[in-house]
A and B are shown apart, each in its own frame.
Chain A
Amino acid sequence: MTDEFDSLDPNVRWIVTEARRPVPAAAAARARLIAAIKAEPVPSRGLRLVTWLSEPHRFVLPPLATAALAASLVGVGVLGGLAINRDGRSAAVQLPAVASGQPQLPDSLSPRAVKFVLIAPQAASVALVGDFNGWNSGAAPMKATDGTWTVFVSLQPGLHTYSFVVDGSHFVSDPTAPISPDDGFGHRSSVVLVRKPSL
């Protein structure tokens, strides 16, 4: 450490030395600070619990429990994130290529982040369903800001059919997108075309 310090530029050494020099505090200021601390009310039980939860703690687990916990987390991660189609293709949800940090797919196959928006101030919940998530209303819940519900979904290039599910049971087509002809079930869905990037 000393060798490293000595090898620094003299100006840098001076700055470091000055920065390390303790700042003298006036006795009156120190007294005011201690008095202010003492004047703070003792945290309530709930606040102490929150504080305790927000601070780091050390836990000791026996090796068997540690191995079991690790195995369970790996199991959830591997099996929970993987889906297999009928033809054996992996259907795991893929992040946008730019965000994955993984070797990228050929550009024409890369998923695109698509933003879906529905203005529904009265809705308590809105979800996006479509052929890209198996029409599973739990797959893409939307978040509301002042009555505007939005979600970003990674979609493969191509034609996709989708709908919004409002309050868990009402299927609503997207007013800003073309509608699909007929869903056969008494509701209309919408269509989005995710384009391949131009080369």
Chain B
Amino acid sequence: MRAITLLAIATSVSFAQDTRGRAADPLGRLDPSTRYAVEMLMDSARMVGLPYGPLESKALEGIAKRASSRDILVAVRRVFRSLRDARTALGPSASADELAAGAGALRVGVVGSELSHLAATRNGNRLTVPLVVLADLVTRGVPRDTASLTIFQLWLHGAADDDFLGLWRSVERDIVSGTDPGVALLNRAREIPAKGPSTAVPPATGVRPEDAKS
């Protein structure tokens, strides 16, 4: 009985230490130098008021996907830079979710000025969903200019989150069916009723947001 008692104590202590270790030190599986660099980036983000959760998440994602230390560090640095640029573009009032979504849009090639145009016309509305949809569309092959301008026009004309999500679903379905991504977006965007001052949907290329606003 004494042996069983000792075994129970040892097992519980071991399990608890293991669980606590994993939870309290999620980056413990990184090699020391990579971990140090990642934590420096996280501390830097915290110091400048950026959300550092996406940095830690990116490192953990890399660990889960068995990426090399170098790739993990490159990815974390990239997230840090894109978060910083997203805040520059979206302004200091942007929420953590908007920053994360904006950072994603920047990472697929959307330029900061296009995010700034969206932010300048937000009127208190959240940009998270439009930015997520924008990044997704570009990732799926919609030309960046077409995607940016279409999202901007819809945003300007009062499209709501559900409109953007519905647009995304329709375009994704059309792309899977073989439609050209840019054409799919323009066709589907025309189906969204305007809630703002204009119903115009931009041509596929060549018109910048500043032109569209005027």
Contact = CB atoms under 8 A, between A and B. Distances in A.
A171 B61 CA distance: 11
Contacts of B12: 71-73, 75-76
A55 B53 CA distance: 49
A88 B107 CA distance: 31
Nearest to A73: B12
Interface residues of A, number: 45
A123 interface: no
Interface string B1-35: 10011001101110111011011101000000000
A71 B8 CA distance: 10
B64 interface: yes
Contact of A134 (B1, B15, B60): B60
A131 B129 CA distance: 18
Interface in A58-86: 62, 64-65, 68-69, 71-73, 75-76, 78-80, 82-84, 86
A182 B107 contact: yes
Contacts of A65: 1, 4-5
Contacts of B105: 181
Nearest to B98: A159
Given A75-B13, A135-B57, A82 B4 contact: no
Nearest to B135: A181
Contacts of A178: 132-133, 135-136, 168
B65 A91 contact: no
Interface stretch (B70-78, B145-153, B198-206): B70-78
25 contacts: A71-B9, A72-B11, A73-B12, A76-B15, A79-B20, A86-B52, A86-B56, A134-B26, A134-B57, A135-B64, A135-B65, A136-B22, A137-B64, A158-B96, A159-B101, A161-B61, A179-B136, A180-B104, A181-B138, A181-B139, A183-B58, A184-B58, A185-B62, A185-B67, A195-B161
Closest 6 CB pairs of A and B: A184-B75, A83-B23, A72-B12, A79-B16, A135-B64, A131-B57
Interface of B: 1, 4-5, 8-9, 11-13, 15-17, 19-20, 22-24, 26, 42, 46, 52-54, 56-58, 60-65, 67, 71-72, 74-75, 78, 96-97, 100-101, 104-105, 107-108, 128-129, 132-133, 135-136, 138-140, 161, 168
